Structure 1
Amino acid sequence: MSLFPPQHARLPGDRFAPVAIPGLVWAYRFREGYAAETLDMAEIPAALAAEDGWLWLHFSLTDKLARTYIAGLTQLPEPARTLLVAGEEQLGLDTAEEAIFGVFADFAHDMDGPTQDVGRLRFALTERLVVSGRRHPLRSVEDIRRAVDKGLAVRDASGLIEAIIDRFCDAVARLAAEMTDELDRIEDHVVADLVASERARLAPVRRTSVRLHRQLASLANVFRDWEEREEQATSALRIDAGRLASRLESLDQDILGVQDRAKLLQDEVAARLADETNRSLRALSVMTALLLPGSLISGIFGMNVHGLPFTESPGGFWIVFAMGGGATALFYWILRRIGAGLRF
């Protein structure tokens, strides 16, 4: 039994209101020659039934009732609805019954602003309808929504998806530039032999670059594969897969360059820190060795036995002290001769 009455169900009385759509974050209607319109829930059933323009419905998929509602959208083919409500995380793009659906990557967005965490955008589109959903707010999707509010013209449903991917690419490009600048600063410190805190600064750069490389390479492969499919060529919907794949591959090369550079810097920082540690240990070893002759002599003359020399001499202490100092100086001379002098 369905959890919801029909979309056009009415409440008692002269006025009526459609049943609320659970999990709906926003709804827009696009018509040629008109600015994008924000739709209230009451306007969505009529807009779905209209023959002009197309709709964009965006859902929060953490709402179980929203997934149930999407599963009942007969405007979308069954495979598209299944992907939207499933917990699919693998990136991909597919088609069925003149509809395109898939899973793309996007940066997450929280209350404090954009983050570097990567989330998933699930979507399905026909010529008349785009249904998208996410489990966490996404940066590029939110940017496109704001741009639409400011008058961004979107040519059609597939153009909306292209715009979201382009915004994701823009965000990756900015992040790559930021990571490059951070590596420049770290490299300056490494060259200046100021490496104490650089390892902690390198770790997040390398971690982010590794994660982004995986996402970009996967997305580029998805679009290359889509470009070669025969069914995409016969579809009424068009996604410029070749252009998007080329841009993603170019960004992936930039991220790979950042990743390789971060790895080299990390290796150099590790080598310099290891060299500093070795110098410290070497100095400590030499200092310990220099104390051995004096310790040996003080140990001998510290024995509480009869027959120790200088016990009755007025200057015995200074004689033993001179012997310890002389032994230490002799031992240091020997270390210098064998190349193990006290050099830091």
Structure 2
Amino acid sequence: MTPGWTIGEEGAGQFRWIHLDGRDAQAMRWLEDESHGLPPTARFNLTTAETRPRCQPLHDGVIINLRGPRHSDEHGEGDELVSIRIWAERGRLVSVSYRRMAGLEDLRERMDKGEFLDPGDLIAALAVQIARHLDPVVADLGDQVDDCELALSAETFHLRRHIAKARSTAISYRRFIVPQRQALEAMALLELDWIEDDDRIHLREAADRFARMAEELEAVRERSALLHEQITDLRAEKIDRRSLVIAIVALIFLPLTFVTGLFGMNVDGIPYAHHPLSFWAVTGFSLLVGAGVALWFAAAKWFRN
């Protein structure tokens, strides 16, 4: 008995889809059984833990790995885009995933209804569905960067966390979307009799959508880097402005500190030490010196820098 799910009847002119959970030991033992007719290279690809999107023809079949959004029930660490490994040949498609991918249940229902007549139909539908799921996610990343650009000011240093997250997500997605486009384009060019013209059209359509997503992700990455630099410049400018104010205040009080320190010495001989107006005279002199230094800074336009 095949672990996972099997849809379709075995026999001439029939098409079966066998999907396995890579975390199931019984599924792994089923793949290792040579009696199922899987080529060794295909078995190795289906059991590989880490993969990247690719397409490799092998005999009369094809090995193709794709990445799509993970199911909402899948939690924990790891890439947002989960991998599905596929071996396709006339009459049979075997797929393995180590984490649940969003949308596979929809494809399973369509397969039950008889919408897919060969592996080309199923792979094309899978590629289009992944593109449909990822389009709004990539668009949302662009909107997040747009919002950060509109909110950018000297008081919005907290935006750095949002920008860094958007940039990190864009880099993570682009790492898989670019080779996925190349894999779909390569599959559309394969001369296999079970890949029909309609399948090629759908594969090229999905590849084009992935190409546009890759361009958008690259734009998000570059715009995020530019925004981060602008925020850093704004922060440096704000620090410089505050440092200038502190320097001006320090320079204003520097001569006053000298005067108060000079007349505050506890030694004999200070002129007018016992005169009743000495305190007010020193205070008035200090105020005049401070006001004079402040007016000089104002005339030199230091307060506007």
Q: TM-score range by the shorter chain?
A: 0.7 to 0.9
* Correspondence 1:214 to 2:214: no
Q: 1:71 to 1:95 in 2, by over 3 A?
A: farther
> 1:261 Cα shift?
3.1
* Correspondence 1:28 to 2:4: no
* Correspondence 1:311 to 2:269: no
Residues 10-65 of structure 1 deviation map (CA, whole Å, 9 limit, x = unaligned) = xxxxxxxxxxx55x2x3322xxxxxxxxxxxxxxxxx44x4453222222212344
The whole-number CA distance in structure 1 between the counterparts of 2:18 and 2:30 is: 12
Amino acid at match of 2:172: R
The whole-number CA distance in structure 2 between the counterparts of 1:257 and 1:117 is: 20
Of 219-228 and 200-209, deviating more is 219-228
Instruction: Please name the residue that 2:100 is paired with.
Output: 137
- Residues 91 and 222 in structure 1, CA contact (< 8 A), matched pair in contact too: yes
After TM superposition, the structure 1 = structure 2 runs for residues 228-243 of structure 1, keeping only pairs within 5 Å, are 228=189, 232-238=190-196, 240=200, 241-243=203-205
Residues 122-168 of structure 1 deviation map (CA, whole Å, 9 limit, x = unaligned) = 1112222221111222224345346657x582232222111111111
The whole-number CA distance in structure 2 between the counterparts of 1:211 and 1:137 is: 19
In structure 2, list runs of 5 or more residues that go unmatched.
Answer: none
- Residues 126 and 237 in structure 1, CA contact (< 8 A), matched pair in contact too: no
The whole-number CA distance in structure 2 between the counterparts of 1:152 and 1:301 is: 101
Higher helix share: 2
TM (normalized to structure 1)? 0.76
Instruction: Please name the residue that 2:166 is paired with.
Output: 205
The whole-number CA distance in structure 2 between the counterparts of 1:203 and 1:264 is: 11
Instruction: Please name the residue that 2:219 is paired with.
Output: 257
Instruction: Please name the residue that 2:302 is paired with.
Output: 340
Residues 90-136 of structure 1 deviation map (CA, whole Å, 9 limit, x = unaligned) = 32111223222122112223427899712211111222222111122
Q: 1:62 to 1:310 in 2, by over 3 A?
A: farther
Instruction: Please name the residue that 1:326 is paired with.
Output: 288
> 1:318 Cα shift?
2.2
* Structure 1 vs Structure 2 CA RMSD: 2.9
Q: 1:155 to 1:324 in 2, by over 3 A?
A: farther
- Residues 256 and 286 in structure 2, CA contact (< 8 A), matched pair in contact too: yes
- Residues 79 and 172 in structure 2, CA contact (< 8 A), matched pair in contact too: no
Amino acid at match of 2:215: Q
In structure 1, list runs of 5 or more residues that go unmatched.
Answer: 1-6, 8-20, 30-46
* Correspondence 1:54 to 2:15: yes
Q: 1:59 to 1:176 in 2, by over 3 A?
A: same
After TM superposition, the structure 1 = structure 2 runs for residues 40-51 of structure 1, keeping only pairs within 5 Å, are 47-48=9-10, 50-51=11-12
Q: 1:116 to 1:171 in 2, by over 3 A?
A: farther
Q: 1:296 to 1:27 in 2, by over 3 A?
A: farther
Q: 212, 216, 228: which is aligned to 1:266? A: 228
Instruction: Please name the residue that 2:142 is paired with.
Output: 180
* Correspondence 1:126 to 2:89: yes
* Correspondence 1:108 to 2:70: yes
* Correspondence 1:79 to 2:79: no
Amino acid at match of 1:244: A
The whole-number CA distance in structure 1 between the counterparts of 2:274 and 2:100 is: 89
For 1:139, what is the secondary structure of its paired residue? coil
The whole-number CA distance in structure 2 between the counterparts of 1:197 and 1:147 is: 46
- Residues 293 and 331 in structure 1, CA contact (< 8 A), matched pair in contact too: no
> 1:255 Cα shift?
2.5
The count of residues paired between Structure 1 and Structure 2 equals: 299
The share of aligned pairs that are identical, in percent, is: 19
For 2:270, what is the secondary structure of its paired residue? coil
The whole-number CA distance in structure 2 between the counterparts of 1:337 and 1:86 is: 74
For 1:105, what is the secondary structure of its paired residue? strand
